[in-house]
Structure formats: structure tokens, C-alpha cells
Amino acid sequence: GGFLGGGGGVLPQLYFMESTGLLALISTGHYLEARARRSAGAAIGELLRLTPAVAELVDEKGEMREVPVAMVGVGDRVLVRPGGRIPIDGVVVEGRSSVDESMLTGESVPVVRTVGDQVIGGTVNSDGRLVVRVSRVGGETALAGIVKLVERAQAAKPPVQQLADRISAVFVPTVLGIALVTGVGWYLVGMSQHWAAAVMWGRLANAVCSVLIIACPCALGLALPAAIMVGTGRGAKRGILIRDIDAIQMAERVTTVVFDKTGTVTQGRPTVVGVVGSKGVSEEEVLRLAAGAEQFSEHPLAKAIVAAARERGVEVGMPENFVNDAGYGVVAEMEGRTILVGNRELLEKHGVAVLEEGGTQTRVYVAAKEGLLGQVLLVDQVKADSAVAIARLRGMGMRSVLLTGDNRATAELIGKEVGIAEVHADVRPAEKVRVIRELQKNSSSSVAMVGDGVNDAPALAAAELGIAIGSGSDVAKETGGIVLVSGSLAGVVTAILLSRATMRCIRQNLFFAFLYNVLAIPLAACGVLNPLVAAAAMALSDVTVLGNALRLRRAKID
């Protein structure tokens, strides 16, 4: 503090202890902040550590040698021993084993992988020996793609962050103005009270410095990034990838969830249960033409038809021309004829009349220009957890809608099985968008669309929130704001709960950040706080915000 010299002169106040303490407190605050930031971003580090450093390469002679994973190329074969971690993405060429994919998909039950099945780098081979042919390496692997999505989401700014940025842009000059007014005020008070110059300037500097230190907007700048970093990281570990950061804010508002049927509510692996030929056309001929026309289609029904033909030893021809009519079927040139394979509407578009038929099986019609050749009957089992997930959404006050291009009888049967009363059947891709628009227009709620196919992409884009099934088409995944790696509908519930928890954390962080400033700035301006206490409060506000964000790692989202 200040003191009088022997000659009666007044020496200026000295702040040796305060300056040292200020530096120590600010450094301590930065240290704690850095630690909390590392904890908040730990999810990416954990994902990166899933890939082993070495792989056991199997050469053409069957000899094995360990090499760095970076040296493994597409087409190479690697051995994965029981208990080992799969180093790359590939296809199983030898062996059979259970693979634990929980670190990427969030599914706790291991899945059986055998010859022809795809495996993902970073997953764990549980009990069998596998030889895997490498299909993707480096930045092309599924794990690398997940890490890129998480990093991109964490770096993006949602609308609420933009609001905070605008507030900060006003807040900083306002604080500088308060500091200026504080300095002038203390100067005028000192002059009116006839304080000694050292006392006046000491109190003036004390108050101004305290205002500037306490008003440092670090906590405000950390409020959102910290919560988003933890939230997206936790989602990635549960198989929920946030592609578009706005999806977090949108998911919180969703009250209507629209589901596609095939591959979303159902397993997407339909099986052929019957083939019916028209008069004079054999079942084998119907299946042969259908499989030949469908063999380049990505639709689950097409894959099932091709698989059935191969299982029955039916020789499948090669189409000379192939056109996919999304939502209807395919048109192919085979053996000099135009072959139509799809739903009733496809045939009617090409002038082939088909009578309306009942039944709960999915019917794929096969026709030529001269008329109907036959039908392929398929069934698709409902996913084991679909009914549970939809029941949980209903318990959360959500409205569920089933939206499918399949026939009404099949759609209503599936809807009844999973607990969805509102069913829209025989809906084409363009009409799906119309249904989404009507749901948005007829209610004040936000609509989420959950789908997996190319024909779902327009509806995914039209909804406020698009949720794509990770096992579906690339087009659907590129359109969805959220991607469910596992394909389980339980991920829809988890994504909504995670978004609610993240947005709640963001609001709490903004509240804490502003609370410190609102309470402390007046105290600092009045000279109640010295710079040392102000520095401690500023550091505490940063740590409080980051600590609150870290609570998201324990938030209940199951």
C-alpha cells in the first residue's frame, strides 16, 4: 500500500504482491482450462487410438509378417487373430468369428462375420481367426471418416453460437466503455474528496483493471464449443455421427418422427418366399428375368431377388441397358425385349395393366411390353428393437409416422407390429416430400425423417432434421444431418436425448458466463474487488463452464 516518506512526500502505491498473484492466477486458470479442453476433446483421441499400429500381412505363399498399418494397401490380405483389433476396412475371405463393433456402432452385442462380410477397422475380433482382404486404407476407412465428421461438427458454429458471437461483439466495447466511465468516476471522486494523488490514481487503476480482468469474455467464448465438443464426441462413441452441427439444435425441437419402412423399421434384408408365373410363363423364367434386370440395383428388394436366383441355381443374364426409376422399379433391355420389374405403378406407366391384389407380402411385378409375366413375393422382418424405440419416442411425447412406397396391406401390418398408427403407403419419392411438407404445415412441430435409401434423400432434405441409417445408401448418408452407424432405431432416441442434453448444457454455460459478468462488473467498478480477486473470478468462470460441459459425458441418454 502507499506510505508517507520522511520528508512528507507521498510515494505512489506499489502492487508487487498483486501483480505476482495476478500472473499466477491467470496461469493457473489457463492450465485448468487446457486440461478441461483436453478432456472435452478426448473422444477424437479415443477414436484415433482404435486403429492398431501394425497389421499381420499374409502373402501369396501364406507366409505372415508384421508391417506398419500405413504400409498395407488395397487388395492385401491381413490376418486377425482372436482378441485382436481389425486394422483396416475389408472383406472376410477366410474364417468366421464374432466381431465387437460397439466402439463404433454403440451396439453391445457382437455380430457374426464370415466369408463375404465386410468388417470395419478398429473393431475387435472376439473368438475366431479371420483373413481379411483390404478394401479401404488411410483416410478412406470408415473410422477416418467418422473422425473427420466429428472434427467438422466440433469446428462448426450452430445458430445459437452465432448469437453469442454477436453478443460478444457488443459486450467487449461496452466493457471498455464501463472501464472508461469507472476511471473518470474515480478521478472525479478523488478530486472532490481531495485525495492524495497516489491514493486517487491507485484506486482508479485498481477499479479499471478489475473491470477489464473480470469482463474477459473467455467463458462466453467457451460456453458453446465446449458443450458441442463433448456432445459430438459422446455421440460418435455411441454410433451417432453429427454431420451438420445445426442438427443438434433441430433435434431438440423435433416432435414428429417420420420413418421409412424398408431398411429402416425393417431389417432391409427381404427374402423371396414365392414366385408366381402368368399363364405360359414358368417360375424359373420369371425369376431369371427379374434377377437379370435387377442385378445392378442397390434396392434391398433387388438384392433379395438376385440372391434368390443364385441360391436356386437360375442362370442370370446380363441386361443390355438398365434404367433405375426411383420409387417404381427398373427398366432393362434383355434378349431384345424391354423388361419391367417393379411395383404396379411402374407397369401402369408403361401401359401394362395389373389387377389390384391383396395380401401382406411385398409384390414385385415382372412384365414385358406385351403384358404381365409374373410376380415375385417377398417378406422383410422387422428389426428387433424397432417397436421398443418407437414406444420410447411415444413416451417422450413424440408422434411417429410410417412413410413407404410399399402396398398398404404390408405397410399397415408393419405399422401395427411396431406401434405406428399413422401410415402413408404407396408413396413415391416426390410424394414423400409432399407428405413431409403437409406434416410441417399442419402442426407447429419440427419434423425428423429417418431413412436409408436413395428414394429417401428428397424427404431427408425436406425435413427439419434428416437422420440417415448408416447401412443405407451413400446418397441418404450425405443428405442426413445425423447418421446412425449401427442402423438401430434406438439411435434415434439417443440422438434426440443427446441433443436435448447438449442444448441444456449450452444454455447453462451461457447463463454462468453472463452471471459472472453481471454480478462482478459492478463490484469491480465500485472498487470492491481488487485485480487479484478479479483474476480468480475470471479463471473460475472458465473452469465452471468447462466443468459443466464435461458433465455431458455422464448425461443419461439411454
Q: End-to-end CA distance of the chain, in Å?
A: 58
Share in percent of the chain as helix, strand, coil (round to 5): 50, 20, 30
| 3 state SS of 160 | helix
User: Strand, helix or coil at 85?
Assistant: strand
3-state secondary structure of 265: helix
Give alpha helix (H) positions in 266-299: 283-294
* Cell representation of residue 36: 478441461
Query: Strand order in 482-484's β-sheet?
Result: 240-242, 482-484, 465-469, 446-451, 254-259, 399-403, 422-424
Q: How far apart are CA 11 and CA 5, in angstroms?
A: 7
Which residue, 556, 546, 558, 423, is CA-closest to 35? Answer: 546
CA 485 vs. chain centroid, Å, equals 8
Give the neighbor-by-neighbor strand order of the sheet with 111-113: 111-113, 97-100, 124-125
Where would I find the beta strands (DSSP E) of 380-458? 399-403, 422-424, 446-451
Which one-letter amino acid corresponds to residue 362?
T
Q: Which of 89, 260, 456, 542 is catalytic?
A: 260
Q: Is 434 exposed, middle or buried (0-12, 13-18, 19+ CB in 10 A)?
A: middle
Q: What is the distance between the alpha carbons of residues 522 and 513, in angstroms, rounded to a whole number?
A: 15
Active site residue 325: no
Closest CA to 304 of 380, 389, 204: 380
Instruction: Write out the catalytic residue numbers.
Output: 260
